């Protein structure tokens, strides 16, 4: 009974780890640099970033589920073309749904919706994860990775929009019940139009990559420092033990 509970707890931890890894530790954009094309092209506002992210959530989760479901039926020779057809189907479906229910988003994302088909994140997760794992794990992986991708797009979109306009619009591209904008800062610092253009995209992504790298390196340094301390501590303890042992043996002989 105790063993079964521990097993369940361990499985739950695995699911959770699998889900959250895409947010920071294995973030597709800031760590693996996957899906950079939409990350640069459609993140000139928070809403478009969020919109693209949601489409990728739909496509990645469902394609992971389907790939995982049929992984044993597909021979290796036709793995890639089959996956592409599956991904392209979901992209076409999501494109039609966006065109029907969020026309401004569809117009704003334009050619970048069909281009989701060639997003390496989606094909990457299908070949490296979904084709080797269970349906549930694949679904969780797809959802987690796609949400991590979405968060990254939103982060870039937020930075670019606020720097370029001093405000964050909502309800413009997504079918929200209200339309408006947040912040409305009118300082000169927040009117740098360069951040709307491609150059701004590169700049912002570069800055965020630097931030993520800095955090990663700081963690790594801390880890190494802890390890070094632990080794020194162990060495000290061993030396102490050795010294005590030597003293004991010296006392005994005396």
Tokens describing residue 215: 């955090």
Select from 198, 151, 144 the least CA-distant residue to 30.
151
127 DSSP 8-state letter: I
Contact between 197 and another protein per CB under 8 A: yes
Q: Minimum CB separation from another protein for residue 67, in Å?
A: 11
Cβ(29)–Cβ(149) below 8 Å: yes
C-beta of 19 vs 195, nearer to another protein: 195
**What is the rounded distance in angstroms from the CA atom of residue 26 to the CA atom of residue 125?**
12
Q: Minimum CB separation from another protein for residue 226, in Å?
A: 46
C-beta of 193 vs 237, nearer to another protein: 193
Q: Minimum CB separation from another protein for residue 96, in Å?
A: 5
Q: Which of 16, 85, 189, 238 binds another protein (CB under 8 A)?
A: 85
**What is the rounded distance in angstroms from the CA atom of residue 64 to the CA atom of residue 202?**
30
**Size of residue set near another protein by CB under 8 A:** 30
Q: Minimum CB separation from another protein for residue 221, in Å?
A: 39
C-beta of 69 vs 120, nearer to another protein: 69
C-beta of 31 vs 55, nearer to another protein: 55
Cβ(125)–Cβ(145) below 8 Å: yes
Q: What is the dihedral of CA 238, 243, 247, 249, to 10 degrees?
A: 50
Contact between 78 and another protein per CB under 8 A: yes
Residues 35-54 that bind another protein (CB under 8 A): 41-42, 44
Q: Minimum CB separation from another protein for residue 36, in Å?
A: 15
**What is the rounded distance in angstroms from the CA atom of residue 172 to the CA atom of residue 102?**
10
b/e map 165-204, b = 16+ CB within 10 Å: bbbbbbeebbeeeeeeeeeeeeeeebeeeebbeeebbebb
Question: Binding pattern to another protein, positions 93-132, x when CB under 8 A?
Answer: x--xx-xxx-x---xxxxxx--------------------
Give the binding site for another protein (CB under 8 A).
41-42, 44, 73-75, 77-78, 81-82, 85-86, 88-89, 92-93, 96-97, 99-101, 103, 107-112, 197-198
């Amino acid at each position: 009974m105790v063993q079964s509970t521990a097993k369940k707890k361990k499985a739950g931890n695995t699911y959770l780890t699998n889900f959250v890894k895409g947010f920071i530790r294995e973030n597709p954009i800031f760590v693996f640099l996957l899906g950079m094309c939409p990350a640069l092209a459609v993140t000139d506002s928070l809403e478009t970033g969020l919109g693209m992210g949601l489409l990728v959530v739909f496509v990645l989760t469902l394609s992971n589920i389907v790939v995982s479901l049929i992984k044993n039926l597909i021979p290796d020779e036709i793995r890639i073309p089959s996956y592409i057809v599956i991904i392209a189907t979901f992209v076409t479906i999501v494109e039609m749904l966006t065109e029907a229910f969020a026309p401004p988003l569809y117009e704003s994302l334009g050619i970048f919706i069909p281009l989701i088909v060639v997003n390496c994140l989606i094909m990457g997760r299908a070949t490296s994860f979904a084709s080797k794992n269970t349906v549930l794990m694949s679904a969780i992986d797809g959802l987690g990775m796609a949400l991590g991708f979405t968060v990254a797009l939103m982060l870039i979109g937020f930075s670019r929009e606020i720097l370029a306009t001093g405000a964050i619009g909502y309800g413009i591209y997504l079918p929200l019940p209200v339309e408006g904008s947040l912040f409305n800062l009118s300082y000169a610092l927040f009117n740098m139009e360069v951040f709307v253009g491609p150059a701004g995209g590169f700049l912002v992504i570069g800055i965020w990559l630097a931030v993520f790298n800095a955090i990663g390196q700081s963690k790594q340094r801390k880890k190494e420092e802890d390890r070094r301390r632990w080794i020194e501590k162990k060495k000290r303890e061993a030396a102490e033990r050795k010294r005590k042992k030597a003293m004991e043996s010296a006392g005994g002989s005396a």
